[in-house]
Structure 1
Amino acid sequence: MTRTVLRWILAIFYFAAGAIHIAAPAPFLTIMPSWVPAPQAVVLWTGIAELLGAVGLAQAHSLPLRRAAAIGLALYAVCVFPANINHFALDMAKPGDGAGLTYHVPRMFVQPFLVWLALWTGGVIEWPWKPRTQ
């Protein structure tokens, strides 16, 4: 029950994030590291990836599709981490420290949690609740 509820919450979160990436890309473009090629296309495709991942994660009757979406969303969260680090650095360099440490530090910890949450709610992993078998 808990896994299902969290899976739906995560799917809704990623669906909303994907829609925002596509409808209003400007904030995402400002935090994009300078070494990323074609930043507009990257923001568009990350939005599409979030939408597709959310739809796949929401699948109740297709475990292979749900697992594939979970893996995709976990990989997505890893891939966008440099943008979050860049945002942290850019924001803290602003006068007044931008959003400040109370925003950025928890966000740095949320990213690995999102990787785990996608994998767990998608049924890819059982850790830490199922004991390892030898």
Structure 2
Amino acid sequence: MHKDVTALAGLFTVSGTVHLVRPETFEPIMPAVVPAHREVILASGVAELLCAAGLLHPRTRRAAGWASAALLLAVYPANLKMAADLKDSRRTGLKTAAFARLPLQIPMVRAALRAARG
């Protein structure tokens, strides 16, 4: 297993846990077109934890890789919204993190696709 797949599983584990333990953290970045914000946040946390577990097991890695890539693409609009909302913010650390996160999705998707392709 590639190190980047292991790293992606670790990121999903941390993020999924935060989604479940502190869902209110993610409510401000939910696009308005998404209904039932809290439920979607909780569901995405569960999905991240399932993807993490699946990436770590050889028998489920391929399916989890495809699911992980789809999940990363599905949550990208929330990442875009967060960056847009912080565009004029004076909170430079948070703004920098939000904008840096956007291109970081690319290696994450690549890692997921690497897992999907075996």
The verdict on a shared fold, with TM-score over 0.5 as the criterion, is: yes
Unaligned runs of 5+ in 1: 126-134
TM norm structure 1 = 0.80
Unaligned runs of 5+ in 2: none
- Say whether 1:105 aligns with 2:99: yes
In the TM superposition, residue 97 of structure 1 has moved relative to its aligned partner by 5.2
Identity fraction in percent: 33
- How far apart in 2 are the matches of 1:113 and 1:9? 11
Larger gyration radius, structure 1 or structure 2: 1
Find the counterpart in structure 2 of residue 30 from structure 1. Answer: 28
- How far apart in 1 are the matches of 2:8 and 2:82? 22
Higher relative contact order (CA 8 A, sep 6+): 2
SS of 1:80's partner is: helix
- Say whether 1:72 aligns with 2:67: yes
Post-superposition, which runs of at least 4 consecutive aligned residues in structure 1 deviate over 4 A?
none
RMSD across aligned positions (CA): 1.6
The 5 Å alignment of 1:34-113 reads: 34-60=32-58, 62=59, 65-94=60-89, 96=90, 98=92, 99-100=94-95, 102-113=96-107
Q: String of CA shifts for 1:20-69, please: whole Å, max 9, x gaps.
A: 10011111111111111000010000000000000000003x1xx21110
Q: Which amino acid letter does the alignment assign opposite residue 23 of structure 1?
A: V
In the TM superposition, residue 123 of structure 1 has moved relative to its aligned partner by 4.5
- How far apart in 2 are the matches of 1:43 and 1:123? 24
Q: String of CA shifts for 1:69-119, please: whole Å, max 9, x gaps.
A: 01101000001000001001111233x15523x323321101122111111
